Amino acid sequence: MNDQGEDRGLGGVGDLHQSLAQQLRITDFDRLRRRELFGLGDVEAAALRACHAHIRANLDEIVSGFYAIQASIPEIAKIVGDSDTMRRLHETMRSYLTELFQGRFDASYCDTRLRVGMVHSRIGVPSKLYVASVLTLEKQLQPWVIAAVDGDPAARLDALHRAMLFDLHLVMETYLLAVTTEVEAAKYNLERYADSLEKVIEERTRQLHEQSRRDALTHLGNYRAFHEDLRREMARSEREHLPLTLVFLDLNRFKALNDSLGHQAGDAALCEVAVCLNRACRASDLSYRLGGDEFCVILANTALAEGHAFLDRLTACWSHRPAGEGGVTVSVGLAQATPGVHIRAEDLIRSADQSMYRAKARARESNVHGIDTGTIVG
């Protein structure tokens, strides 16, 4: 098997900007050193050239005999596959034997052998089959080498053996290069997969964390998110000497709404509160559902007086909401942290909660929205 032109296999192997010899770091010095190691010198080259005319005259018979043996091996016959491929293999083998017995083991010859190895590797010829075919070819050539010239054939047979080993080692180099490249490609793909998996896990973790901070019904922040964010914003408020106002909001007659119209109506009212909070909030404001019908908003960098502007936006939205069934109103309380003063989050929450209950008492008396003026803490 020896098809330089048959290339059905892997694409993108190695560096496209380098030759195979460059990828394998085979320089002219290295090529000559390899010839020296295999004992393939001028004497051996001359011995092969002495056989050239006889081999060339009998190429068809030599090649046909070789491939008759190859075709009888099921694994090889399966790889060859069709008559066109077999014809190309015959032509390639003829070229190879012509080059082999010219005895010129130069850079071009070595590049051709490397290319043959890469092609056979790419089309899936196992190395054991290739090595076996080389042994078969050498055995097929020996009688022709013996008959090429009168006299003792030992030197010619030795030269043939050394040349075949030299060729085989070049081919095996490209087999190893293909394996190394496949390993590197697999490593690269594995690293890319690991990176993508890490990003997926990171994104999924972020989503799960975000979900753990969101109220499932209203999609506002939940109780956990509120306490985490409040401590962070209060620390920033104290550090930067900025005011911070906390708003607590509760629905009036919410239980009566649930009892008379059902929990779906109650859930709808809670969602309407969330819509109004989102409309009333600025980009820097943070809104939450603490549970039941209790909501709160953190107004960063906002004094108590400015907080009432937020309440105006909120109550205006609530009054104009499409679903106004059940006579539900809101009670709102406020508490502001004094800028630059250390205040515990619990104290600010307590003040806002007390303000809301004062607003709720007013709402019960007036049957309208309850708004408390709020307190300044610290």
Domain boundaries, the chain: 20-191, 223-377
pLDDT band at 119 (very low <50, low <70, confident <90, very high): confident
Longest Cα–Cα distance of the chain, Å, equals 130
Residues 332/247, Cβ–Cβ less than 8 Å: yes
321 has a pLDDT exceeding 50: yes
Residues 306/328, Cβ–Cβ less than 8 Å: no
349 vs 258: CA distance, rounded Å: 27
Average pLDDT over residues 293-313: 92
Residues 93/63, Cβ–Cβ less than 8 Å: yes
156 vs 38: CA distance, rounded Å: 15
Residues 356/250, Cβ–Cβ less than 8 Å: yes
51 vs 57: CA distance, rounded Å: 10
pLDDT band at 136 (very low <50, low <70, confident <90, very high): very high
pLDDT band at 17 (very low <50, low <70, confident <90, very high): low
Average pLDDT, the chain: 87
pLDDT band at 170 (very low <50, low <70, confident <90, very high): confident
Q: Is 7 a catalytic residue?
A: no
Contacts 24+ apart (CB under 8 A), 306-315: 306/245, 307/245, 307/247, 307/334, 307/336, 307/374, 308/334, 308/373, 308/374, 310/247, 310/280, 310/281, 310/285, 311/247, 311/371, 313/279, 313/280, 314/249, 314/276, 314/277, 314/280, 315/369, 315/371
184 vs 225: CA distance, rounded Å: 46
CB proximity list for 6: less than 8 A, separation 6 or greater: 85, 88, 89, 119, 123
AA letter at 183: V
User: 32-67 burial, b if ≥16 CB within 10 A, otherwise e?
Assistant: eebbeebebeeebbebbebbbeebeeebeebbeebb
| Residue scoring higher pLDDT (368 or 108) | 108
Q: So what's the architecture of 20-191 in CATH? A: Orthogonal Bundle (1.10)
65 vs 83: CA distance, rounded Å: 16
**Which element (helix H / strand E) includes 291?**
strand 286-291
156 vs 44: CA distance, rounded Å: 7
Indicate whether this model's pTM tops 0.85.
Answer: no
10 has a pLDDT exceeding 70: no
Number of residues written out for the chain: 378
CA distances (Å), 81 to each of 74, 86, 131, in order? 10, 8, 20
Residue corresponding to tokens 């770091």: 25
Given 215, 285, 293, 372, the catalytic residue: 293
Q: Is 376 helix (H, G, I), strand (E, B) or coil?
A: strand
- Per-residue pLDDT reduced to its tens digit, 252-302: 888 888 888 888 988 999 999 999 999 999 999 999 999 999 999 999 999
| Class at the top of the CATH hierarchy for domain 223-377 | alpha beta
